Structure 1
Amino acid sequence: MTAGEQVFASIRLVLLGAVAVLQLGLSLPPLLAYEHGPGASVAFVVLALVPLVCAGWITRRRPLPRVVVAGGVVAVLGASVLATAALPADGHFGAAHWSFGLVGWHLLMLLADRVPALLAAFGAHLAAGIAQFVLAGPPDRVSIGAAGVVVLGVTSFQLGVLLLARVLLRTARQAAELAAEQERAATRAALAEQWAQDLRAGFAGGLGTTLPLLADLADGVLDPRAEDTRRRCAFAATQLRRLFAEHDEVPDPLVHEVAACVDVAERRGLSVSLAVSGSVVPVPTEVRRELTGPVASALSAARRRARVSLLRTDGEVRLAVIADAAPEAGPGPATGTGTDPEVDPKVDPGVDGVSGRVDVRSDTYGGQTRMEARWRTS
């Protein structure tokens, strides 16, 4: 239920109680005290039935159906004409005219959320009452003045209630909009905080391989001229470059991260070709890390040239690298999943590995090493 519907539901509930009190407490005594025509009792019963019919929706705080509203307005206006016609002589807009003020509250209850229709109904009710007042006999100046006071007093009070309802509605809508904006702001702040935490965690993982390497270089533990040291530096640079690319807003994140790995290799002087086939497939961030891990490892171990191919279908994503890396003994990322940033970038050919999500294969033929990471989308 919207803020406007809640306000009108509460207003209708209050007006329902007001109609019941006014009809029984203020309208019934004049009906019994003055002589009226036979139509007065019928009008009173009709006016009593309208809130009784509407009470089922109003007490459950539900909007009134259009059919009920239209039927109620017609019944109320008809009862008003009938009750006015049954007034005793000189009873218009006087103590015996019990229906005039009561009908306005019925109309408010029915049309509080339909202001144009409510004003039109008010106008019809007022026009009918004045017409019957004039047709009952030529009124004198005193009668006209008394009628004007009654009309002005009743209608101004009822229109004041309508104005109050509109003010409450506007206030409720402003409060609802403010609450929604505060909730959106809190959501944005929570998402930004989560994104910052993920970013810090990702960079911390990437720096986990870089900082020890830099410390060993600074302490002289590693020789910068050694092939293994250069390979470790190339692997760390590739991992960091892929990590930066991971947080870029791009249409195809996987290709963007693979291209970042290729870019680092080309800056080292390698001749690298990249072939991409298939349309964009949504790949979770963790899976992209596992897929690009073997790429970073193979490119960091390559000597002169490498070829990277990415194949995407409805059923799987395959990322393969063929490089002219020389086979070396020792553990390497081909045996793992590509998610651990502290993996030694040496390529260990002929060893296969399977993670919970990505299947990694590595083989060597002559001087060519081939690594492939495969992820099934379903």
Structure 2
Amino acid sequence: MDETTADRVLGGCRIAILGITVVIQLSLSLPRLTGAESRSAFVALGAVLVVASWWVLRGRPVPWPAGVIGTVVALTASAVASWAVPPGELFGERHWVFGLVGWHLLVLLLDRPVAAVAALGAQLVLDVVRLVTAAPADRAEISGVVIGGLSVITFQLATLALVRVVYRRAGEAAAASAERDRLLHRKALAEQREADQRSRFAGQLGTTLPLLAGLADRTLDPRDEAVRRRCALAATQLRRLFAENDDVPDPLVHEVSACVDLAERRGLTVALAVSGEPAPVPTEVRRELTGPLMTALVAARSQARVSVLRTGDEIRVAALTDGEPEPPVNGSGSVDVEWHTLGERSWMEAKWRSRPN
């Protein structure tokens, strides 16, 4: 079930009521026609059904202007047919329009319950007025007509109420189904995200575990500069990986700041400059932008300057350090990385364009 289920259910109810009205008019009312006035009223009611079916059979409600005009025509036809019946035969075999018009009103006003109730009440008033204006009419006869009219209208009102209840229940069921689908979708996304995180952590630990094992069995000397760099790089990679899972407005700057923070904990003096408005950057691209930065910061001896520049559809992450990375990191197909050595300084820039030429 989706958002249109309730509308489809209501459309089916409209078609069902239209079919009921057509059957009643043709099978029960047509054989009882007498006189030109009755035939004119019958044709007018048939025209109302034909016009209404243009929208009903297409699953759409009758528009409000057409509904108002159709209601006026139906009530007028009812009055004409009722006044054409002789007083002594009111609400008998010749009074074919009695009760029929209420179904026409439901076809026209099913989507507007208040207007439908008012129109059915107007139809009952017309029947009572016709009886009162006929002579003679005693209280017993009036009471019988009122009871009969109320019985017919009550059944039609019950039909209207039932349709509205079914429509409301269908809407609630559709909303519940949509909410369930959203929850299942969120659950699937969460499970996929958790699986991706486990995969990334496993991949990261795959490079870290040999380092830890070497330190544990003393095959690696923590006093060795290369080993310390490996440890610093592994720690920075893990710190950036943790930052990747944080829910923040600017993930790229957040991950760059995580790398800078760990470098500062190692004693480096790092200056970070950010310019430009935040822009959406895919996770894989953020990893490729921050990968060379981590290598540059790990190689720095005492200080570094890091900048994040965002202009239009281009994002750059650059670092100027007083150390030379070994080995330099190359860019992928989506991220271009440049490395330059300037005397005792090393300059790195990773560049990504959101809309490649």
Instruction: Report the CA distance between 1:133 and its aligned residue.
Output: 1.1
Whichever residue aligns with residue 223 of structure 1, its letter is D
Over residues 135-176 of structure 1, what are the superposed CA-to-partner deviations in whole Å (9 max), with x where a residue is unaligned? 112411331232133212211211121121122112211211
Matches of 2:135 and 2:182, distance apart in 1:
66
- Using the TM superposition, name which of 362-371 and 11-20 deviates more: 362-371
- In structure 1, the partner of 2:144 is 146
Would you say the 8 A contact 2:124–2:150 is kept in 1?
no
Distance (whole Å) between structure 2 residues aligned to residue 365 and residue 42 of structure 1:
101
Match of 2:25 in 1: 23
* 146, 168, 171: which one aligns with 1:170: 168
> In structure 2, what is the equivalent of residue 346 of structure 1?
none
Partner of 1:336: 330
Corresponding position: 1:361 with 2:338: yes
Cα deviation 1:243-283 (Å, max 9, x = unaligned): 11111111111111111111111111111111222222322
Matched residue SS, 2:19: helix
* Other-structure match for 2:300: 302
Is residue 97 from structure 1 mapped to residue 129 from structure 2 by the alignment? no
Q: Is the 8 A contact 1:3 1:169 kept in 2?
A: no
Tell me the equivalent position of 1:72. Answer: 70
Q: CA shift at 1:183, angstroms?
A: 1.0
Question: What residue is the counterpart of 1:348 in the other structure?
Answer: none
- Once the two structures are superposed, what CA deviation does each residue of 1:273-330 show, in whole Å capped at 9, x if it has no partner? 11222222322211111111111111111222222122221142222222222x58xx
Give matches, 1:181-330, under 5 Å. 181-325=179-323, 327=324
Structure 1 counterpart of 2:51: 53
Contact 1:272 1:308 in 2 (8 A): yes
Match status 1:376 vs 2:353: yes
Match of 1:132 in 2: 130
How far does the alpha carbon of each residue in 1:117-141 deviate from its partner, in whole angstroms, 9 at most, with x for none? 1111111111111112111124113
- Looking at structure 1, the residues matched to 36 and 175 of structure 2 have their Cα atoms a distance apart, in angstroms, of 53
Listed as ranges, the gaps of 5+ residues in structure 2 are none
Give the TM-score of the pair, scaled to structure 2: 0.93
Counterpart contact for 1:93–1:146, Cα < 8 Å: no
Given that residues 75 and 123 in structure 2 are in contact (C-alpha distance below 8 angstroms), is that contact kept between their aligned partners in structure 1? yes
CA contact 1:93–1:150 (8 Å) conserved in 2 = no
Deviations 1:26-83 (A, max 9, x none): 1123335xxxx53112111111222122223222222223332222111110000000
Could you say which residue in structure 2 is the equivalent of 1:7? 9
Q: Percent identity?
A: 54
Please give the secondary structure, in 2, of the residue aligned with 1:38.
Answer: helix
Superposed CA RMSD in Å reads: 1.8
Equivalent-residue separation in structure 1 for 2:90 and 2:270 (angstroms): 100
Count of residue pairs the alignment pairs up: 353
Give per-residue Cα distances to partners, 1:345-370, cap 9 Å, x unaligned: xxxxxxxxxx2111112222222122
Runs of 4+ with >4 A deviation: none
- Aligned residues of 2:304 and 2:321 also touching (Cα < 8 A): yes
* Cα pair 2:11 2:59 within 8 Å, conserved: yes
Instruction: Show the counterpart of 1:83.
Output: 81
Q: CA deviation at 1:335?
A: 4.0
CA contact (8 A) 1:9 1:62 kept: yes
Tell me the amino acid that sits aligned with residue 64 of structure 1.
V
Query: Does the Cα contact within 8 Å between 2:52 and 2:107 map onto a contact in 1?
Result: no
C-alpha displacement at 1:371, in angstroms?
1.8
* Amino acid in the other structure paired with 1:56: W
Deviates more, 1:40-49 or 1:58-67: 58-67
Q: Counterparts of 1:169 and 1:196 in 2: how far apart (Å)?
A: 40
